[in-house]
Amino acid sequence: MWGEALLRQAGGKVVGKLASTQLSRLAERVRSEGGLPIRIVLPDGEAADFGPTPTLTVTVRDAAALAQFRQPTLGGLAEAYVEGRIDIDGDVAEAIRIAARLVEAGGAPVSARPGLMPAAHQPHTDRADISHHYDVGNGFYRLWLDELMVYSCAYFESGAEDIDTAQRAKLDHVCRKLRLSQGERLLDIGCGWGALVTHAARHYGVRAVGITLSEQQALLARERVAAAGLQDRVEVLLLDYRELPRRFGEASFDKVASIGMFEHVGLRNLSVYFSSAARMLRDRGLMLNHGITSADPDSRPIGSGAGEFVGKYVFPNGELPHLALAVREMSAAGFEVCDVESLRSHYALTLSHWSRRLENGLQAAAREVAERTLRVWRVYLAGCSHGFAQGWMNLYQLLGSRQVAPGATELPLTRHWMYHR
């Protein structure tokens, strides 16, 4: 492959010195094999185009990073960028697409998934993991999320909506699925910055409790609840989901929502998670679980080093169950799963919006976080958008009814009510 030729042309020294003639010959070979729209600039300034019209320039700062082109992996290339061993000049989404093509051409494929190594997921470690991701800084998230700061998949009807419209539509989609009504009690597990509890209290008349492990999220969520004048109907707590049965009595809520949280639960803890939610609900109460799932039937992480990269830099100990496992564990906890909806295409669009908004505000973002952190988020958002578009992972909303006594659910016979006001 051409990556191996690159190392051979370097004489195995990996010190960043390639004669211009050698680099030119290599570039010609790559172009003869179809080419790639990329320009590589080596540490000594020598450069070559590997396609007729390069749209992306990769500058190698550390000659050791050339090893990433011998048998490329998505995780290896992403880490080289995050650690400053390579720089990218060009559209970050295009960089992800080119990296995927490099991997397809001669690297470790995404389909070659590693084996499972489930994490323990204890309360103290989960709190640290949540802080690592969500306490980056409210100012940073505010730059690229929507006006309500909803950090989960939006809901698009045409795909042409802006992110603010699509996120409000998602909140209504969740509230309609839960059939919220005046005076009901709603629990939001992993409430983020309080968008859902505030929206549900204001527009559906519920009394809501939101829980989170992020101190920065809780602080801002409480400020937003107060600003909306909803302190008498909305409470935001720093609380682990495993503490719910001790904090509240059995059947304390009519409805439970969990939006973008169960990715942090861990495969071994899914039964505890769904059982804790079930104990909070009255008989026939509804739970809507909205979360990312693995596309692999055995719930293995994404291959090509992508899963390892996300675990190291973005979501420590995050684990994605397959849909089948999620449905099984939800059912075992006493829920009748009444509706399953894939939002994979919606999340690809959502992430694309987030990525573009971040790219448009890079200067402001650089004032909020360190350069290394910004590099992580640039490649993460663009990479996830590509991954969802390609079907490397999925996102499902599962609607379940807690069935304590035999008999029918309280849901209508058709789904018409979900999609029509």
**Could you say which residues of the chain have pLDDT below 70?**
1-27, 29-30, 106-109, 111-112, 115-135, 421
pLDDT for res 20: 47
How many Å apart are CA 186 and CA 234, to the nearest integer? 9
Final residue in a domain of this structure, among 77, 106, 135: 106
Encoding tokens for residue 136? 């980056």
Apex CA 269: angle with CA 264 and CA 274, to 5°?
A: 90
Q: Give me the CATH number covering residue 92.
A: 3.30.1050
pLDDT for res 16: 45
User: Are 236 and 320 in a shared domain?
Assistant: yes
Encoding tokens for residue 217? 């999220």
CB 40 within 8 Å of CB 50 = yes
How many Å apart are CA 326 and CA 337, to the nearest integer? 10
User: What range does the domain containing 67 cover?
Assistant: 2-106
User: Are 131 and 216 in a shared domain?
Assistant: yes
Amino acid type, 338: C
Final residue in a domain of this structure, among 78, 106, 134: 106
Render 243-294 in DSSP notation, one character per residue. GHHHHS-TT-EEEEEEES-GGGT-GGGHHHHHHHHHHHEEEEEEEEEEEEEE
pLDDT for res 11: 45
- pLDDT tens by residue, 117-167: 666 556 666 566 556 666 688 999 999 999 999 999 999 999 999 999 999
Who's near 74: CB < 8 A, 6+ residues apart? 99, 100, 103, 107, 110, 304, 305, 306, 309, 383
Helix 371-390 to helix 344-360 angle (10° resolution) is: 150
pLDDT for res 52: 84
Least Cα distance to 197 among 156, 241, 230, 155 occurs for 230
Q: How many domains does the chain have?
A: 2
- Catalytic residue (choose from 153, 175, 191, 384): 384
CB 356 within 8 Å of CB 381 = no
Residue 175 annotated in active site: no
pLDDT for res 51: 86
pLDDT for res 3: 53
Helix segments in 156-241, DSSP class H: 163-177, 195-204, 215-227
How many Å apart are CA 400 and CA 420, to the nearest integer? 20
pLDDT for res 15: 45
User: Are 67 and 162 in a shared domain?
Assistant: no
pLDDT for res 134: 64
